[in-house]
Structure 1
Amino acid sequence: MRVGGELDMDTGPQLHDFLQEVSDLGAVRVVLDLADVTFMDSSGLGVLMVWFKELDGIGGRLCVAAARPPVEYVLRLAAVDQVLGVYGSVDAAEADMPPAAS
């Protein structure tokens, strides 16, 4: 899923709601393409962590890919990269996803 613009307290709820819809449709392995995200604050990080825990709790996985340097810096500064996968590209993230449970 491609995310764009700013990921902050104003837009975080929209991402949360969208991830809820995706989850309700049965998706448990999600790659967020952050290439078009220009800014992320702590509320954006909070949305990522909530959904990491949500998907992890049902045997799924959330990871992020292609973050611009300022956004990647925020992910690393907050040590989010120690919890969920942070990849240089969507292809790399998808290649590292475990196969879907059958």
Structure 2
Amino acid sequence: MQLGGELDLATDPDLRQGLHQVLQDGARVVVLDLTDVAFLDSTALGTIVWLHEQLQPRNGHVRVAVTRPLVLRVMELTSVDRLVRIYDTVAAAEADLAA
């Protein structure tokens, strides 16, 4: 799922709606492309954690592609990077899943 701009309280309802649909479609693996995300707040981080929790019972995984240092730093400071694997590109995330 490709995302861009700012992920925050204002945009979270749309993000959650999209993720609910992905889950309803039966996804076990979700790759979030955050390479075009300039900012994310605690609401967005909570949604990523929520997605991780939804996929665990399915033996599923969340993978995240991040290139912006600010976004990566927020994920590290909040330890979200310990729940989900982070990659430089979507291709790297997909390759790891295929391995």
* Number of the residue aligned with 1:83: 83
Query: Alignment RMSD, CA only?
Result: 1.3
Percent same amino acid among aligned pairs? 43
* Number of the residue aligned with 2:17: 17
Please state whether the residue corresponding to 2:4 is helix, strand or coil.
Answer: strand
Gaps of 5+ in 2: none
After TM superposition, the score normalised by the length of structure 2 is 0.93
Gaps of 5+ in 1: none
Runs of 4+ in structure 1 off by over 6 angstroms are none
Q: Which has the higher helix share?
A: 2
Show CA shifts across 1:46-70 (max 9, x none): 0000001101121111111033111
Q: Distance in 2 between matches of 1:10 and 1:98?
A: 34
Please state whether the residue corresponding to 2:10 is helix, strand or coil.
Answer: coil
Q: Distance in 1 between matches of 2:69 and 2:52?
A: 21
After TM superposition, the score normalised by the length of structure 1 is 0.91
Matches within 5 A, 1:19-38: 19-38=19-38
User: What is the total number of aligned residue pairs between the two structures?
Assistant: 99
